[in-house]
Amino acid sequence: MQFPVARIGRSAWPLAIALLSCAGDITLRAHGTEARRVVELAWTRDHITRTIAANRSELGLNGSKAPEDMMTIDGRSCVFGDLFVFDVDDKYAFDIDEDVDVTVTYAPDRTQRFAVAWDRNGGDGYGVSKEIAPEAGARLRTATLRLDRARFAGLGLLNTDLAIGARGGIALCDLTVARSGATKPTATAGRIHIELQDAGTRQAVPARIGLYDASGRTPLPSEQALLVHRYADETRLVWVAPRLLWPSANRQAFYAIGSYDAQVPAGSYELVVTKGPEYRAVKQTVQVRPGDTSRVTVALQRYINQPSRGWYSGDTHLHLMRDHAQDPAVWGMVAAEDVHVGNLLEMGNIVTTHFRQPAWGKAGRYLRDGHLVVSGQEDPRTTERGHTIHHNLQRPIHLPASDFFSYHKVFEESNTQGGVSGYAHMAQIFNGRRGLALDAPFNLVDFIEVLQGGRLGVDNWYPYLNLGFKISPAAGSDYPYYGPSLPGVERYYVKLDGAFDADAWYASFKAGHVFVTNGPMLDFTINGRGMGEEIHVARGARLDLTASAQLNPDIDTPGQLDVIVHGDVVATERGGRGDRITLQKQITADRSMWVAVRANGSRQVAPQFWKTAAIADLVRTERQILQDLLTAPVDPMGDLEAWETVNVLAPQWERQKYLLRPRVEQANAKYDDILRRAGSRRSSAGQARLESIGLAIAVGIALVFVRGGARRR
């Protein structure tokens, strides 16, 4: 299938920028724009119908934001860049299963070490070769690689089959593809019919499915599998990254709602079905006989029922486009991972907006069978101040380019709309800490996305807890980035006292009744009070902590449960052979404090936590970060969509950073006030005020935050 993309020839970079900047949104689908760098080149070869320069291949190789070029070398028409993807002519090879030889002709003096990736049968669904070192001594060289079990079913970026990538670039002058012809004739077909049920309710449910023949090959899914979005692609097969729950060495899967029916070659199949960490995984063998229908009912058994305990899961960070609010495929993908609230984020940069949503407020919500998808935004986002997220908005909030760095205006408007706002990506990349340093002292930040990409990032969260700001933890997959991930691989659980209600859920999240996890389910109380509640005790009072972590054995076994006070581990309980660890600890409320509990799986490595420093040191750090915000040089190529923003970001930053000086001065004044109040409290005695927030991660953490106040005499 052909997709309209930007086309370039010689002097590629200026033309690509002109197309992307002047044309605005380049429409690839009715439902949105392409958020990847995609430039189709006028460079084809035998059996190659399309060549695209890109920053991702979706086949295990990634590139950069650097421009490509076309040049003539030794009389050959060559393309230069760091990642190219190729569409093999379907008439020559489509959905095959055989070894294929690929011969690459390159110019050694313009080429770095390179690798080839391909759409492959079995395993991850793609293969990546070893890197090839360029062989000097000639204007042009060739290298031939054998691609084992090539499939060429268009599962790469925009239905492509091959990719060639080189950090630093490759001058590619020819490419040939030669089949071995070893693909076996398709076996006589039969049918498989799968019914998906919740074992407790016997209700039909969505789920993630894997179906593999004896060689690990996945038959291409039928139209009953959900057609899901991956950037501007629409695909039925998704990759299940190693950090996700999946009890098979074969890692291609698809989604279905309630049932799945398909014609497949007769034979023996491995069937795998999952539905998030609250359900046990199913793995069984199915025989499909020629001309017959094999019927399978998969009853998914709950391991734990978090909603019955009042805990409902969410994913802060999903980039899934919808044409209409009631999109069954988008809903089905989120519900199949048992995510109760899927926040679908428009993604804005200083030039345009990707992953657009069709409606906002209640009109943008689609609630079905207890699972909700709802519109939100990741905007503003820059490499100078980080990426921000805003949930539960009544309407989108987009700043003009001339005011794009004034993040506080979006936070303030979000608060007016009843939104919940925070910082993405653990505030570790894109200089998110600078944005936090400027926005946190004004009590504009409700949460930080501390768990993402299989990593727990607390270095940019703990300092603000230590400074007395009540900022909740959150977790999101950032689908389809980070791996790619899938919805709910990292998630946060929010506590409700009654039945599920979207408004109550967001209010409880904002109040701090939340923990984050990628596996362990946490319970945590202090003096019988749960996560997010406030407790007032006399200074010197005894605090009774009870914590437990429970972990689905299909994911891992609990390894360790820690109690952490101001960054220091004060108690540890190690796991045994069961699926739960329980820990009880008594501490004294001799000062204002925050307390965390952390649960790790036995195969996980515990993250390193930031060491609590004195208030004076914390304030000094925040002041330096604010100074860096105003003085550090701009890095326009650090922007995630630099090919769109490079000509706009730097000049706008130079104009607007001076407008932030008054805001920086106000923030510094607030830090000074914290410093003064901290000094006055050192000699005070009286009441301690305890607030609990919860956090968890697969490694899992629960946090209790204690903010003490002195009773005046």
Rounded distance between C-alpha atoms, residue 241 and residue 252, angstroms: 9
- Of residues 174 and 603, the one with the higher pLDDT is 174
Average pLDDT over residues 670-686: 67
Q: Which CATH number fits domain 189-300: 2.60.40.10, 2.40.37.10, 3.30.365.10, 3.10.20.30?
A: 2.60.40.10
State yes or no: pLDDT of 46 exceeds 80.
yes
By C-alpha distance, which of 483, 449, 497 is closest to 697? 449
Average pLDDT over residues 82-105: 98
**What sections of 211-324 are H helices per DSSP?**
none
Rg for the chain, CA atoms, rounded: 27
Cis peptide before 134, with omega less than 30 degrees from 0? no
pTM exceeds 0.85, yes or no: yes
262 beta partners: 192
Contacts of 264 (CB under 8 A, 6+ apart): 189, 190, 191, 192, 211, 219, 288
**What pLDDT, on the 0 to 100 scale, is given for residue 424?**
97
Q: What is the pLDDT of residues 176-189, one digit of tens each?
A: 999 999 999 988 99
Angle value at C-alpha 319, between 334 and 648, nearest 5 degrees:
175
12-33: b or e for each residue (b if 16 or more CB lie within 10 Å)? Answer: beebbbebbbeeeebebeebbb
Average pLDDT over residues 603-626: 67
Indicate the range of 3-17, 97-111, 291-305, 512-526 predicted with least confidence. 3-17
**What pLDDT, on the 0 to 100 scale, is given for residue 143?**
98
State yes or no: pLDDT of 25 exceeds 70.
no
DSSP character string of 435-472:
HHHHHGGGT---EEEEEETTEE--TTTHHHHHTT---E
**Other CB atoms closer than 10 Å to residue 181's CB: what's the count?**
9
> Per-residue confidence at 614, pLDDT binned at 50, 70, 90?
low
Cα-to-chain-centroid distance, residue 396:
21
**What pLDDT, on the 0 to 100 scale, is given for residue 9?**
31
| Whole-number percent of the chain with pLDDT over 70 | 89
Cα-to-chain-centroid distance, residue 185:
40
The answer to whether residues 152 and 88 touch, using CB atoms and an 8 Å cutoff, is: yes
State yes or no: pLDDT of 503 exceeds 80.
yes
Domain 307-614+688-704 has CATH 3.20.20.140: yes
Q: What is the pLDDT of residues 617-669, one digit of tens each?
A: 989 999 999 999 999 988 888 999 999 999 999 999 999 998 999 999 999 99
Q: Which CATH number fits domain 6-179: 2.60.120, 1.10.10, 3.30.450, 2.40.50?
A: 2.60.120
> Per-residue confidence at 340, pLDDT binned at 50, 70, 90?
very high
State yes or no: pLDDT of 2 exceeds 60.
no
Rounded distance between C-alpha atoms, residue 342 and residue 331, angstroms: 8
Q: How many residues does the chain have?
A: 713
State yes or no: pLDDT of 24 exceeds 80.
no
The overall average pLDDT reported for the chain is 88
Give all strands (DSSP E) within 132-205, no chain letters: 141-150, 162-179, 189-198
Rounded distance between C-alpha atoms, residue 613 and residue 562, angstroms: 20
**What pLDDT, on the 0 to 100 scale, is given for residue 83?**
98
> Per-residue confidence at 595, pLDDT binned at 50, 70, 90?
confident
> Per-residue confidence at 607, pLDDT binned at 50, 70, 90?
very low
Average pLDDT over residues 125-132: 97
Rounded distance between C-alpha atoms, residue 344 and residue 340, angstroms: 13
The answer to whether residues 228 and 29 touch, using CB atoms and an 8 Å cutoff, is: no
Taking the chain, what is the end-to-end CA distance rounded to the nearest angstrom?
Answer: 77
State yes or no: pLDDT of 30 exceeds 80.
no
Indicate the range of 55-69, 308-322, 587-601 predicted with least confidence. 587-601
> Per-residue confidence at 602, pLDDT binned at 50, 70, 90?
confident
Q: What is the pLDDT of residues 527-573, one digit of tens each?
A: 888 887 777 777 888 989 999 999 999 998 888 898 887 777 889 99
The residue whose two tokens read 């000097």 is 136
Mapped to the 3 state alphabet, what secondary structure does 325-375 carry? CCCHHHHHHHHHCCCCEEEEEEEECCCCEECCCCCCHHHHCEEECCEEEEE
Please report, for the chain, the start and end positions of each structural domain, with discontinuous segments joined by +.
Answer: 6-179, 189-300, 307-614+688-704
Q: What is the pLDDT of residues 436-477, one digit of tens each?
A: 999 999 999 999 999 998 888 888 988 888 888 889 999 999
> Per-residue confidence at 18, pLDDT binned at 50, 70, 90?
very low
By C-alpha distance, which of 595, 553, 639, 460 is closest to 64? 639
**What pLDDT, on the 0 to 100 scale, is given for residue 291?**
96
